[in-house]
Amino acid sequence: MPKLAALACAAPLALALAGPGFADVRGSVHEIVNPEASRAEWRRQPLAGAYVAIVWEIAIPAPAHATTSCRYAELARTDAKGEYIMEGPNFITAALAHTIFAAYAPGRRVIAFRYPGTLLTPKDITLVKSDWPSEQRLSLLNSLARPGCAGWDAKLHDPKGLLRPMQQELLREAATLPAESDYAKNTLRSLEAEVRGPQPALREPIRVEIAPAQGSIEAAPAPAQPSSR
Q: What is residue 214's predicted lDDT score, i.e. its pLDDT?
A: 52
Which residue type, as a one-letter code, is found at position 42? W
pLDDT digits (tens, 9 = 90+) for 89-121: 988 888 888 888 999 999 999 987 666 666 678
Q: What does pTM read for this prediction?
A: 0.75
| 197, containing H or E segment | none
Instruction: Give the phi and the psi of residue 3 in degrees, each rounded to 5.
Output: -60, -40
Domain range list for the chain: 1-18+205-229, 20-204
More confident residue, 99 or 81: 81
CB burial readout 106-137, b (16+ within 10 A) else e: eebbbbeeebeeeeeebebbbbbebeeebbeb
Per DSSP, 150 falls in state G
**Lowest mean pLDDT across 15-24, 68-77, 108-117, 190-199:** 15-24
pLDDT digits (tens, 9 = 90+) for 138-191: 999 999 998 887 654 457 899 999 999 999 999 999 999 999 999 999 999 999
Nearest residue to 11 via CA among 204, 215, 227, 213: 215
Per DSSP, 12 falls in state H
SS (H, E, C) 91-139: HHHHHHCEEEEEEECCCEEECCCCCCCCCCECCEEEEEECCCCHHHHHH
The full DSSP string for 15-81 is HHH--TTSS-EEEEEEEES-TTS-GGG--EEE-TT-EEEEEEEEEE--SS--EEEEEEEEEEE--TT
Q: Is the pLDDT of residue 216 over 50?
A: no
